[in-house]
């Protein structure tokens, strides 16, 4: 086996190594360095897949390694960071001598673990995501202590030092990781604006948020990504429903035209065949007027039964009936000759 086949797995292990270093910094509440190594790990996580596709060496081993590395870098580290944030703002609620609030930050880790395990067996998440990816969630959580450190907003400080808010963030984080919410792909496949409008709008807005708000822009970018995806899903679902309605109506129109064209054709032919002998007798024995009635009355009966079967409110039944009625004089003139 050549060395290039090992390159993606080596990069994945470097991602794991960065996660381990980030754990040490997070434990010591050096959140800036923890954030740096998590970002480096996420960067490596992108490139292990890139090189796997480049060298065409994707394997089940690589898939498992990738999830295990992400579990540490994007699962355990954000859980620990949230736990550390809760320590200084912990509730007085205790179990024995154990304060419970700081440990609830690891709900993020549990949610990340479940997501990564589910991701490995979910075949739907090839070009896009369902639920927030663990790297994005990790960036969101690790940016919070940096926002708290550098912000001058009293409101933001009060929010991020409130233990109940931090608990709510932990619970929502675990939920959004595994929620059945399709998120649009950030990959740009074709180099034109029309096919990548959503991605380009997101990237421009994200860049502006990061430039003007710095660390505060990071969690806002993640929130914007989720909200934009939700809006996009609503618009797309409506468009799909409308297209399906149009397709269904088109198919029904074609189907009904075929059905009713066949029906009134069959009715006319049946009327001619079944009543031709009666008409001949009527013409020869009772005269022309009786012959007309012999042909016309069965047509009226068939028109009545068409109304009975399909109803007057059915547009296609009305069209068929109109055609049938118009066919009567032509049939009569044909018989007269």
Higher pLDDT, 309 or 27: 27
* 58: confidence class by pLDDT, cuts 50, 70, 90: confident
What average pLDDT does the segment 139-157 reach? 92
* 335: confidence class by pLDDT, cuts 50, 70, 90: very low
Q: How many angstroms separate the Cα of 114 from the Cα of each of 168, 184, 229?
A: 19, 21, 22
**How far, in Å, CA of 12 to CA of 43, rounded?**
10
Does the pLDDT of residue 282 top 80, yes or no?
A: no
* pLDDT value, residue 9: 87
**How far, in Å, CA of 282 to CA of 178, rounded?**
81
* 336: confidence class by pLDDT, cuts 50, 70, 90: very low
* pLDDT value, residue 113: 94
What average pLDDT does the segment 295-321 reach? 55
* 320: confidence class by pLDDT, cuts 50, 70, 90: low
Tell me the chain's radius of gyration from C-alpha atoms: 36
* pLDDT value, residue 123: 72
* pLDDT value, residue 337: 39
Does the pLDDT of residue 191 top 70, yes or no?
A: no
Q: How many CB atoms lie within 10 A of CB 236?
A: 13
125-138: pLDDT as tens digits: 666 788 899 999 99
Percent of the chain with pLDDT over 70: 63
Q: How many angstroms separate the Cα of 250 from the Cα of each of 153, 238, 313, 322, 325?
A: 58, 18, 19, 22, 26
What average pLDDT does the segment 305-326 reach? 53
**What's the mean pLDDT when you consider all of the chain?**
76
Give me the DSSP letters along 233-250: HHHHHHHHHHHHHHHHHH
* pLDDT value, residue 39: 95
**How far, in Å, CA of 169 to CA of 252, rounded?**
50
232-275: pLDDT as tens digits: 888 777 666 556 655 655 665 655 555 555 555 555 555 555 55
Give the distance from CA 116 to its chain's centroid. 19
* 215: confidence class by pLDDT, cuts 50, 70, 90: confident
Instruction: Extract the tokens encoding 182.
Output: 């399709």
Write b or e for each residue in 85-99: b if 16 or more Cβ atoms lie within 10 A of its Cβ, otherwise e: bbeeebeeeeeeeee
Length of the chain: 337
* 25: confidence class by pLDDT, cuts 50, 70, 90: very high
Q: How many angstroms separate the Cα of 249 from the Cα of each of 78, 102, 226, 255, 310?
A: 51, 58, 34, 10, 18
- From the number of C-beta atoms within 10 Å of its C-beta (0-12, 13-18, 19+), residue 138 rates as buried
User: CA geometry: angle at 204 spanning 202 and 206, to 5°?
Assistant: 65
Give me the DSSP letters along 266-287: HHHHHHHHHHHHHHHHIIIII-
Q: Residue 182: which H helix or E strand, with range?
A: strand 182-183
* 4: confidence class by pLDDT, cuts 50, 70, 90: confident
Q: For residue 74, what is the DSSP state?
A: I
163-181: pLDDT as tens digits: 899 999 999 999 999 998 8
Does the pLDDT of residue 185 top 80, yes or no?
A: no
Indicate the SS3 state at residue 52: helix
* pLDDT value, residue 137: 95
* pLDDT value, residue 138: 96
* pLDDT value, residue 144: 95
* pLDDT value, residue 79: 96
Give me the DSSP letters along 175-190: HHHHSS-EE------S
* pLDDT value, residue 263: 54
């Amino acid at each position: 086996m050549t060395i290039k086949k090992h390159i993606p797995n080596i990069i994945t292990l470097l991602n794991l190594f960065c996660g381990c270093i980030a754990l040490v910094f997070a434990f010591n509440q050096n959140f800036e360095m923890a954030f740096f190594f998590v970002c480096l790990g996420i960067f490596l996580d992108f490139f292990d897949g890139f090189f796997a596709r480049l060298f065409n060496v994707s394997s089940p081993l690589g898939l498992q390694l990738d999830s295990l590395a992400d579990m540490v870098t994007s699962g355990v580290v954000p859980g620990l960071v949230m736990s550390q944030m809760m320590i200084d703002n912990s509730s007085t609620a205790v179990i024995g001598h154990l304060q419970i609030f700081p440990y609830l930050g690891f709900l993020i880790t549990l949610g990340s673990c479940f997501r990564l395990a589910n991701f490995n067996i979910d075949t739907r998440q090839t070009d896009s995501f369902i639920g927030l990816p663990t790297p994005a969630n990790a960036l969101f959580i690790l940016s919070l202590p940096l926002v708290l450190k550098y912000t001058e907003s009293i409101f933001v400080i009060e929010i991020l030092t409130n233990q109940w808010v931090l608990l709510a963030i932990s619970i929502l984080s675990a939920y959004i990781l595994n929620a059945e919410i399709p998120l649009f792909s950030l990959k740009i496949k074709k180099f034109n604006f029309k096919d990548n409008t959503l991605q380009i709008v997101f990237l421009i807005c994200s860049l502006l948020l990061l430039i003007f708000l710095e660390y505060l822009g990071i969690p806002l970018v993640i929130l914007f990504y989720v909200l934009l995806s939700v809006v996009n899903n609503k618009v797309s679902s409506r468009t799909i429903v409308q297209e399906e309605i149009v397709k269904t109506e088109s198919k029904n129109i074609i189907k009904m035209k075929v059905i009713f064209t066949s029906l009134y054709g069959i009715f006319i032919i049946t009327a001619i065949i079944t009543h031709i002998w009666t008409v001949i007798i009527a013409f020869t024995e009772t005269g022309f007027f009786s012959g007309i009635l012999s042909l016309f009355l069965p047509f009226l009966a068939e028109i009545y039964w068409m109304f009975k079967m399909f109803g007057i409110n059915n547009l296609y039944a009305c069209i068929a009936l109109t055609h049938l009625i118009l066919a009567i004089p032509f049939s009569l003139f044909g018989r007269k000759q």
